[in-house]
Structure 1
Amino acid sequence: MFSFAQKVVRIAGPARAAYLFPLARRLASVTTVSGIDKGDESILVNWNKKKGAWSKFHFDWLRDNCPCPKCKHSVLQQRLLDTLEDATPTKVDVEGKDAVEVEWRDGHRSQYSHDWLLTNSYCHNNISVIKPQPAPKRKITLWDRDAVPDPPPEVNYHNVMADDKSMLALLQKTYQYGYCFILDTPPTLESSVEMGERIGPLLNSFYGLQWNIELGKMNVDHISYSKARILPHTDNPSFFDAPGTGLMHVIAYEDGEGGGSVLVDGFKLGDHMKQHFPEYFSLLSNVSIPYKLTFKDAANYHIRRYTFLVDDDGDPSGLHFNHIDRQPLDEESLYQAKEVLSCDADVALKKMYQAIRCFHQLLYSDEFTYKFDLRPGRMLMMNNRRVLHAREEFISGYRHVCGVYNSEQEWLSKLEKLENDLS
């Protein structure tokens, strides 16, 4: 059985867990308790004796997590205390109206408010009767071809660069819809870099801090640099730190044929599969698939990915998929599929390919696609863990496209900070 913390990381991934569930297990504040019992190694806080709601706090844990400004920086919230400090209490006062006070052998005194103890409870029983405070969920709007936001989510480049409220609007719209257009963007290489750095540190890779594609010129470094049709995908799932967001900007455009842009809402597609093809959705959520990317003279990048990540309700909360980098299903994939289906290897492999084909058919169908031309002055920001992007075959003309990435942690951290600062 997974612990709650393990489950959050398992279903959401380590980076998303801290942001999808920012207050997971955080409980509502109270001002009174039914009583506190002191033991040799811990205290037991009875929140409601009649209902058997209690929390245990060990002295080792209490000393290690003293919240006073001598032990934890009041602004940065970083630990100042050496964890090896003696955790032997010489006096424990549990009679306080709002807090527990502990005096330690070294003379230090710690105070733990009842609210703080309840918020940070880690060993407890029947705690749900104290009305757990649910983790706040930001708004998410699913869309397909017939429900593309109208007007589309948009912000102004110069406003975002100058104003935190406009930056918050950009991040909130990207979170809600999975993408947002940034209008009036100067058609320069520097614009995407400046916007990316406004969000947070850029995500570096063997592409460098910025990637550049000139369609209409011969380049065989990567298939995305060619004129070929690029099918819907998320970028770089082979990287341990796959991009959280991507900025895509056309800085030069000459009319020609082909090369249209395509977006697909992966959460909408996943929701559709969950409703209509639940067995296939379960396989793609619980069977990891190998990915590998080799670029020129760089080292091989490889990792295992679940196609869909899911939240506590089993709904899509993340996505990794890139058909050209997907590797053969292997022994681990087959073992996981057998576990999900409780079947033999032959049935498991057949069902996995049925699930992958179903996903591909939906992904490439017009039902879930949003098609448009991306032109200079209209930069695109995408949530790379939700929205898949594609490009129709480029036949003639010329385009210079560039972009940058931010990590999942950086853009969600920026979003959370601005929400807190501007609320």
Structure 2
Amino acid sequence: MFSFVQKVLRIPALPRLRVACLLQSQEISSVARTVSGINKEDKSILVNWNKEKDVWSKFHFNWLRDNCPCPKCKHPELKQRLLDTLEDATPSKVDVEGKDAVEVEWRDGHRSQYSHDWLLTNSYCHNNISVIKPPPAPKRKITLWDRDTVPDPPPEVNYHDVMADDKGMLALLQKVYQYGYCFILDTPPTRESNIAVGQRIGPMQNSYYGQQWYVELGNLSVDHITYNKDKVLPHTDLVPVFDAAGTSLMHVIVYKDAKGARSILVDGFKLGNHMRQHFPEYFSLLTNVSFRYHLTFSDKANYKMRRYTFGVNSDGDVKDIHINNYDRQPLDEESLYQAKEVLSCDADEAMEKMYEATRCLHQLMYSDQFHNKFDLRPGRMLLFNNKRLLHAREQLTSGFRVLCGVFHTEQEWRSKLEKLECDLS
């Protein structure tokens, strides 16, 4: 299939996926959590958690004063700092004996109390602290998929559960985080229900279309090429916009004698991992060389942005994807310079390799191997992570279909998820 890439690539291996390992609970419980001694130094205190195992933490007075947890220095509900960091951090008295906390009286008369548990949790300068410090919270699960491993049954929640309480909303967002998408069943086929779910998630992201986009499939009056009846190739939305959409909430509200137009989702994280494993040189190029994107609406708006196709985190895992062939602009001098730096080659080879990498990516994302195909009908709303999943549509051969949708920024939907997990834990 990939005749132009069937070759041995002799380049350094890229970072492997790292599996988080947690400390065993037995190891933690076997170590006494009591403080075995606290020493006052000139500019800090040294807390000995376990002298036998040489477990200690140092806390500087500047840091202690800046992070006083009392309600005068930190708002008890908002958790916002009320203290200016210019406050005098000179202690007049430090009391560490016979208590489960360290008490500090500062030169201005203010008193601060730091519990041992609080100090352990916030320890930043220490030795062997992992022996007694509680393990980090496990990472949220991410399930990658392709055509052969599409979740079965599909991730689904009920509209009435989502609207009724936070547990339903939490279930929706957790599924979107894990799989990249989730269906919302029994949704009324109206624009209002689309807005209602969007408002439950959080503040919606305005775009050129307004708060909600609305498409009569086949009507090009909305100034976008993907709104005709032809097939739409896999892409992510709003790539040329500075703050590309974090999620898209898509809803079919009219479906009359429609044939064709099956929806397609592609797991961009799975796609990226596949490229990293089988085509590491091309993956490196698409990670380190930016493309220009441009979107205009009949001269009423003009969006331009440079994007890397794959974004990776410190572990080398794909954390986001931005690709839209409709809005991609010609490779320019900056792109070519970046490619030359990655490959340590001349301009001719860099340009050739960039097109090999792009063709490889496109063949993969157009391949059925990575496609999840389904009919999106009224009553079955779809929420998906626009920075993980590519979406597409087959040609509408006959009939009529109307869709609407709203966007959320990545910050809004992720903060909603974290808030609900915290509240309902």
Shorter-chain TM-score: what band? 0.7 to 0.9
Quote the residue 1:208 is aligned against.
210
SS in 2 for 1:323: coil
Quote the residue 1:222 is aligned against.
224
Quote the residue 2:411 is aligned against.
409
* Partners of 1:31 and 1:114 within 8 A in 2: no
For 2:33 and 2:71, how far apart are their aligned partners in 1? 23
Give the letter aligned to residue 189 of structure 1.
R
Percent identity over paired residues: 75
Please identify the structure whose Cα radius of gyration is greater. 2
SS in 2 for 1:273: helix
Quote the residue 1:138 is aligned against.
140
Quote the residue 1:71 is aligned against.
73
* Partners of 2:43 and 2:61 within 8 A in 1: yes
Give the letter aligned to residue 336 of structure 2.
L
For 2:75 and 2:335, how far apart are their aligned partners in 1? 46
Give the 3 Å change call, closer, same or farther, for CA 85–235 of structure 1 in structure 2.
same
Give the 3 Å change call, closer, same or farther, for CA 115–165 of structure 1 in structure 2.
same
Q: Deviations over 1:60-97 (max 9, x none)?
A: 22212111111111222111223332222222234454
Give the 3 Å change call, closer, same or farther, for CA 93–363 of structure 1 in structure 2.
same
Quote the residue 1:99 is aligned against.
101
The alignment status of 1:366 with 2:381, answered yes or no, reads no
Which deviates more, 391-400 or 118-127? Answer: 118-127
* Structure 2 runs not aligned, ≥5 long: 1-14, 23-27
* TM value normalised by structure 1: 0.85
Quote the residue 1:271 is aligned against.
273
SS in 2 for 1:255: strand
For 1:57 and 1:329, how far apart are their aligned partners in 2? 52
For 2:66 and 2:138, how far apart are their aligned partners in 1? 28
Superposed counterparts of 1:120-199, under 5 Å: 120-124=122-126, 127-128=129-130, 130=132, 133-199=135-201
- Give how far 1:312 is off: 4.2
SS in 2 for 1:314: coil
Which deviates more, 351-360 or 128-137? Answer: 128-137
Count of residues in Structure 1 that have an aligned counterpart in Structure 2: 399
For 2:341 and 2:53, how far apart are their aligned partners in 1? 39
Give the 3 Å change call, closer, same or farther, for CA 176–65 of structure 1 in structure 2.
same
For 1:216 and 1:285, how far apart are their aligned partners in 2? 35
- Give how far 1:213 is off: 0.7
For 2:344 and 2:98, how far apart are their aligned partners in 1? 56
Q: Deviations over 1:18-43 (max 9, x none)?
A: xxx9x9xxxx8983445444333333
Quote the residue 2:423 is aligned against.
421
For 2:216 and 2:107, how far apart are their aligned partners in 1? 69
* TM value normalised by structure 2: 0.85
Superposed counterparts of 1:20-419, under 5 Å: 31-33=33-35, 35-47=37-49, 54-95=56-97, 97-124=99-126, 127-128=129-130, 130=132, 133-219=135-221, 221-419=223-421
* Structure 1 runs not aligned, ≥5 long: 1-10, 12-20
Give the 3 Å change call, closer, same or farther, for CA 32–289 of structure 1 in structure 2.
farther
- Give how far 1:192 is off: 0.6
Give the letter aligned to residue 208 of structure 1.
G
